[in-house]
Chains A and B, each alone.
Chain A
């Protein structure tokens, strides 16, 4: 059977708020489900953005 092309599915970006250190709601922003879901599934549970360890050392 031929593989069917993926149909783009847009979902709210807020679904992936877990990876952001400070979580804010922006319900209007939509992202591609197939991409972000795959990323989200493969990230370590403690993964966070931004990389505060690196950034903390940049303080004036």
Chain B
């Protein structure tokens, strides 16, 4: 089959969507399929089919859209600068996709609401579209609006309604929509009125061979001989809730000092988080390692993995920690409770609850057998549940169904 993987987001990128696209491209090509990848360029200047080096500069499109979609002729577009920005950029994706031509593909597999809506509007009618959603843009944006009242955007505002509208039309755009967990499926059905019959749920896969290959390369970081290692690999952004972990560590330090914490990653919150750690006198315990490409090796040196996020879908980092056999402590945000069975494959604490997290960390540091048992259970479960082979098999079944027995 010829398959087009498409995203509105940037390709290549450090985020999970790009990682997912690369994984399934490699897996599908190993099975003899042909896979192209369409998306925004890293500098937002063009749309491109990255693997073929085909591109269209937005400057070819922008001038005509500017005059034809001005405030007089397209007033709804000008209701808010966010609407204007996202809609105009999506229209350029639609025009770029038409320019590249979609006729030769057997299946189009989009990775977000914008690309799903965009490609559904320009694809030939007979080519099926599978819309994979890796999170909720509307939910993230509405949380952002709520936490920034100075923006004056509430549920009556055009921008608020715009993201709800795009979530609905994007999630409904495909012949079938795929989510990674039931949390997101239920949200699409109940909050965005997407028909239940359109949504399939199956989890992501992890290439364990690649993971263990990277782990075997080792790391330059050494673990302290007399302390346990708590690790939190993530982009240092607000939604990851790293501040919750640092608050918990501030409490933990009063109880015990037989640990260090490695924060692995970079991002806009790094300075704030470093200040928070310094304010709690944790400079010697909390180490900011920055962006690194040896996370699998770091995981094999660690004892406890934490993901105290405010909102997340099905993060690869938790999957990797489970494959590595670590005891994991996650928050109850988003799809995380579907990844960790509390007391069996890890521990789950309420969102934004540093006291509960500190207590769980203390328990795991205190009780070696509990920590090792949770890690071992997670590894056994993860090796089956996160099987890449299973995910690719499910994906191909959906492609074949869409191509040979249209929905």
A interface residues, Cβ below 8 angstroms from B: 13, 16-17, 20-22, 24, 26, 29, 31-32, 35-36, 38-39, 42-44, 47, 49-60
Contacts and interface: CB of A to CB of B under 8 A. Distances in A.
Given A42-B102, A55-B77, A13 B122 contact: no
A60 B158 contact: yes
Interface stretch (B13-21, B58-66, B209-217, B328-336): B58-66
- Sort chain B's interface into a size bin: 35 or more
B95 interface: yes
A58 B56 contact: no
Nearest to B97: A42
Interface in B328-369: none
Contact of A44 (B125, B158, B166): B125
B90 to A, nearest CB: 8
A56 B99 contact: no
Given A55-B76, A57-B165, A58-B79, A49 B68 contact: yes
Nearest to A42: B98
Contact of A51 (B64, B73, B121): B121
Contacts of B125: 44
Given A39-B98, A42-B99, A49-B91, A31 B77 contact: no
19 contacts: A20-B68, A20-B69, A24-B73, A29-B64, A35-B99, A36-B64, A39-B99, A43-B122, A44-B125, A50-B76, A50-B87, A50-B91, A51-B121, A54-B117, A54-B166, A57-B161, A57-B162, A57-B165, A58-B79
A52 to B, nearest CB: 8
B69 A44 contact: no
B67 interface: yes
Contact of A59 (B60, B63, B122, B158): B158
B76 A56 contact: yes
B169 interface: yes
Most buried by B among A22, A44, A55, A58: A58
A21 B74 contact: yes
A50 B164 CA distance: 17
A21 B301 CA distance: 60
Contact of A58 (B61, B102, B161): B161
B74 A32 contact: no
A54 B170 CA distance: 10
Contacts of B124: 44
Given A26-B68, A42-B102, A59 B76 contact: yes
Given A44-B122, A47-B121, A58-B76, A16 B83 contact: no
Nearest to A26: B67
B118 to A, nearest CB: 9
A40 to B, nearest CB: 8
Interface in B86-106: 87, 90-91, 94-95, 98-99, 101-103
Contacts of A42: 98-99, 101-103, 122
Nearest to B86: A54
B162 A58 contact: yes
A38 B60 CA distance: 12
A20 B73 contact: yes
B156 interface: yes
Given A42-B122, A49-B68, A51-B117, A57 B73 contact: no
B317 to A, nearest CB: 33
Nearest to B76: A55
A53 to B, nearest CB: 6
B74 A50 contact: yes
Contacts of A59: 76, 158, 161
